[in-house]
Structures are given as structure tokens and as C-alpha cells.
A and B are shown apart, each in its own frame.
Chain A
Amino acid sequence: MKCSICGREAGGGLCQYHVASKARVEEAYLLWVKAYGRMEWKEYLDNIKRNVQTGQWAKEIAEFLKGG
């Protein structure tokens, strides 16, 4: 099975790198909510997608989750 994002070999729908990035993106959401008081999931995904500091795989995950 191939990763839905990058085409690497994957056990499930995503390769090991994108699985790890997805966990990071989800963990960080809780910290963003705490930092801003409140923030919608989609708004958060838009924000990290636009942020120049966000890593390439984390951006790809944000795009993937937004589409899903």
C-alpha cells in the first residue's frame, strides 16, 4: 500500500513519516487552543499551512486533513 500523500510504502493509509507528522499536528492543536483561548480545527490547519516555520510533512498533513 502506498502513502496517500507521498507515495512511499505505507502499512495503512499513510507512511511512517506522515503518521508521525499527523500525531505532531494533532498534539500541537491542543497547545494552540490553550495559547489563543479558542481556535477552530480548520482555522488551525490553515494557520500552520501558511506558517513559514511549519515543516514540509506537517504542512502536507494539514492539507490532507483539511481535505478529509
Chain B
Amino acid sequence: MKILPGILTLLLLSSASLAIDTEEAFEDPEMQARYEKILDEVRCLKCQNQTIKDSNAFLAGDLRREIRRMISDGMTDEQIFDFLVDRYGEFALYRPRASGKTLILWLAPALLLIGGAFVLLQIVRRRMALPIDDDPAAEG
């Protein structure tokens, strides 16, 4: 049984060596939390189905470095997202912000829901208008 702690330690070490972002953490835990949260929100343009937190493309590394610098410089999250959108467009953000171009993305769910409710209402109304002439006894 003595081997178990050794195996566990090795497992823990292996996951650490697999981390993509090898930079040192911020001293301020709040800054580190902001940093990680932003990384989760930004698409790696080189490998478009990964966030820059998950990607080992060098562009993702460059963007991590820039975001790290901007946080250190005291920029707000909003300013950092602006920086990215100015250069790479809304597509760089996994959650595009509501603006003229992306409005359809934000409104589509509500529009579909309203459309569905309208269709449902039509069907229910039509059925309610039908005469109740079914004979329950005849069913089956």
C-alpha cells in the first residue's frame, strides 16, 4: 500500500506538466481569477474551436502574454475585450456582445420562442373550435 501515495504524486505531476499556460501565476489571486476568466472567453483565431486557454498555438501564447500585460497595467475587462475586438473582430469572443451586427444572435432565441408560442396558440384555438362530438366509449 505504500506505493499508492507515490502513484498519486506522479499523477498530480503529470497533469501539471500538461498545462498549456506555463507562465507564473499573478501574486494577486483576484488578478489571476480575472486572467483565467478572460482566457476562457477568447477564441484562438488560429484554431477556431479552442479558447486561448486551451490552445498551444503560438498566437494563443502571444495573446495570453498581452492579456497578462494589460491586467498588470490595470486595464478593465471591458478595455481588454475592446482591445481584442478592435484587432480580431467580435468573432474573437465566445460571447459576442450585443451590437448591430450581432443583434440577430441575441434576439434569435426570443424570436423563435415567440414564433413557437404563436403557432401553438393557433393550433390550440383551432382545436378548441372543433365540436366535441367524440364518443369516449367508441375509442380504442
Q: Do A and B come from one complex?
A: no
A interface residues (Cβ-Cβ under 8 A, vs B): none
